[in-house]
Amino acid sequence: DQQVKQNSPSLSVQEGRISILNCDYTNSMFDYFLWYKKYPAEGPTFLISISSIKDKNEDGRFTVFLNKSAKHLSLHIVPSQPGDSAVYFCAASESGANSKLTFGKGITLSVRP
Amino acid sequence: EADIYQTPRYLVIGTGKKITLECSQTMGHDKMYWYQQDPGMELHLIHYSYGVNSTEKGDLSSESTVSRIRTEHFPLTLESARPSHTSQYLCASSEWQGANYYEQYFGPGTRLTVT
């Protein structure tokens, strides 16, 4: 059973507009959430993260929002740029020495010029 | 910037061959991981290591094996490759951050095709 779900497989937005990528989780023990960006034939690169004690974290054009009660997080990219076109993975982890990342299936973002 | 390397980047090999996928990191991270990922699917953890001489199986069953003789090196071996092993293999590492190993740094991956 998938514990991290990215239900929309793809998203297409116009350059300059906002991209909103959603992620849901089922494991209430998850307390840290990360977003990774992946280009074809490359490894994922870390983008932004958020701890469960926060509800928002911002880094430049990227903001992650966490709604613990709904077990939902979202990544906002403003403004979107063609170079943002990639697959975005949501990942979650419990705390502790045995912490491992559980990934969603990813969302393919296409930013149209 | 994380420094983690994987070789080869691409490998096409026939059924029954033995292969070793190399992974090295220069950051001194104690924990390392191997993931398997297919297009449109999540990353599946197949092996991980807490440090030298430590190896554990991940959440996804795999016929591959790993070793950790040096901190910086975490190779993955398939004794007899099969078409079902065709996939992208991603190596990652992380360091203890006081309470967890959250953030992982990934290598570029090896795209394996078994014919």
- DSSP notation for B44-75: EEEEEESSTT--EE-SS--S-EE--SBTTB--
Q: At CA A69, angle to CA A66 and CA A73, rounded to 5?
A: 25
Any CB–CB contact under 8 A between B17 and chain A? no
pLDDT value of residue A96:
79
CB contact under 8 A, B43 and A44: yes
pLDDT value of residue A86:
97
In the predicted model, what is the mean pLDDT of residues A35-50?
Answer: 93
pLDDT value of residue A55:
95
Q: How far is B16 from chain A (nearest CA, A)?
A: 25
Which of A47, A89, A100, A103 is best to mutate for the B interface (most B CBs within 10 A)? A100
Q: Are B69 and B101 in contact (CB under 8 A)?
A: no
Indicate if the pLDDT at residue B100 is higher than 80: no
Indicate if the pLDDT at residue B105 is higher than 80: yes
Indicate if the pLDDT at residue B10 is higher than 90: yes
Q: What rounded mean pLDDT belongs to chain A?
A: 94
Name the pLDDT band for B2 (thresholds 50, 70, 90).
low
CA distances from B109 to A34, A66, B4, B24 (A): 20, 30, 10, 12
Instruction: Give the whole-number percent of chain B exceeding pLDDT 90.
Output: 82
Indicate if the pLDDT at residue B107 is higher than 70: yes
Q: Are B46 and B64 in contact (CB under 8 A)?
A: yes
pLDDT, tens digit, 9 for 90 and up, residues B40-94: 899 999 999 999 999 999 988 788 999 999 999 999 999 999 999 999 999 999 9
Q: Are B105 and B27 in contact (CB under 8 A)?
A: yes
